[in-house]
A and B are shown apart, each in its own frame.
Chain A
Amino acid sequence: MTTVFHPLVKRFLDGELHLADLPPELHAEARAAERLLGAVDRAAVTLPAGLDARVMAEVRKRATAPSGARRWWHGLVASREIRVRYRLWTLGPALAAAAALVLLLTPARPVVEAGMPVVATAPESVFVRFVLFAPGAHQVSVAGTFNQWSVTAAPLALTGAAGVWTATVALPVGQHQYAFVVDGRRWVNDPAAPTVDDGFGRRNSVMAVGAGVRAL
């Protein structure tokens, strides 16, 4: 028995169709869909009053000590050059490594070859080639600040080389945090790129890209 909704029932769930719009044979499925939506908990959530005091205590602390955390944060996000080194890297038998190669979008510039360290410089749009060596993976994508951390927006394709996945993605100039997603679940940082604290206790790979690029 199928456990996926008929496309018309999905439109019914989306509110685009009414029950009367559906053929009779889909009514039972539509009623199951109604039960699903009926189970959605829309109750308001009221947070404890103490939250305001805790936030403001922290805010006051940070406001009166501007040279600490703020300076540290701005140091992380401020636009600057960073080096992105392209290299295959092995993490282990099940999963391996990754690298991001910054390629120049502007015409008449030499393409940087794999294995060549590069520096990204000035502002414009650039292509970034992401490479992940992940033998045994069934699906790989790259998610980051440039695609709202979508695990589906930038899939990598398996190349001829065994276990090597690549994708070339046009990115706006600036700093980008990212990670690779293997089989839709496993998040892997790029060991060949710097990482930054994401502010919530983990680290993300980071790159800075620009319109100019040159070999080191």
Chain B
Amino acid sequence: MGTRTDGEIVRAVLAGDTEQYAELVRHYRDRYARFAARMLGSADEAEDAVQDAFIRAFEQLQQCRDPDNFAGWFFLILRNRCLAERRRAVRAGPGGDAVTVPATERADGPLEQDERRRALQQALLELTPEQREVFVLKHVEDLSYEEIAGRLGASVPSLKMRMHRAYDRLRERLKDVL
């Protein structure tokens, strides 16, 4: 049996075969988990975000204009969920951001490297959500500016401006460990 396309699955779900949605969940749950984890600062929060995003996507599935691009459409839902969560953290003010734990810990790396990794993860939380989003997509997800622009509907110059401000903030924040 051949692999079904996302478009075929989406259309089947919209036609009433709800169980088909599980295939989309299986396919994309981990693919975008890293993005969510780096945006939110922990795997636990990423799990909540991905779960919410899948439920939200199901609720809005009729609005998915291009079922064959379910992945891109779902990404935007997850991304909005992550930005909303970051706005909530900012609104909560100092101390309202409960994220303090890096998404992964490695016992095999040098201490200095681990310290730097932790410091960077914390510093990323202090960027604006938009700056962090660009940083994560480029340096964690390894997308080009052009690919990021295509996903977010933003211009490359504006993305670079965000990123370059992020570089400066990170350097300031990490000056003791770089």
Chain A residues within 8 Å of B, Cβ to Cβ:
3-5, 7, 10, 13-14, 32-33, 35-48, 51-52, 54-56, 58-60, 62-63, 69-70, 73, 77, 148-153, 179, 184-187, 198-202
Contact = CB atoms under 8 A, between A and B. Distances in A.
Nearest to B60: A73
Contacts of B167: 4-5, 10, 13, 33, 36
A73 B63 CA distance: 12
Contact of B50 (A40, A47, A70, A77): A47
B91 interface: yes
A214 B47 CA distance: 47
20 contacts: A3-B175, A7-B164, A10-B167, A32-B171, A35-B178, A36-B174, A37-B139, A42-B140, A44-B33, A45-B104, A46-B30, A47-B50, A52-B25, A58-B55, A59-B55, A63-B18, A152-B161, A152-B162, A186-B90, A187-B87
B37 interface: yes
Nearest to A185: B90
Interface of B: 18-19, 21-22, 25-26, 29-30, 33-34, 36-38, 43, 46-47, 50-52, 54-56, 58-60, 63, 80-81, 83-85, 87-88, 90-91, 102-104, 106, 113, 116-117, 119-121, 128-130, 138-140, 142, 145, 152-154, 158, 160-164, 167-168, 170-172, 174-175, 178
Contacts of A186: 90-91
Chain B contact residues, majority secondary structure: helix
Given A14-B163, A51-B51, A152-B162, A198 B84 contact: yes
Contacts of A60: 18
Contact of B87 (A3, A43, A202): A202
B22 to A, nearest CB: 5
Given A47-B43, A54-B51, A59-B54, 7 more contacts: A3-B171, A35-B116, A36-B170, A40-B140, A42-B34, A45-B37, A47-B29
A51 B120 contact: no
A60 B138 CA distance: 36
Contacts of A201: 88
Given A4-B172, A37-B139, A39-B113, A45 B18 contact: no
B171 A36 contact: yes
A202 B119 contact: no
A200 B85 contact: yes
B142 to A, nearest CB: 8
A74 B129 CA distance: 28
Nearest to A200: B84
B28 to A, nearest CB: 11
Given A51-B51, A152-B162, A59 B30 contact: no
Given A52-B25, A63-B18, A39 B119 contact: yes
Contacts of A59: 18, 21, 54-55, 58
A183 to B, nearest CB: 11
Contacts of B43: 45, 47
B164 A10 contact: yes
Contact of B47 (A10, A39, A48, A56): A48
Nearest to B52: A200
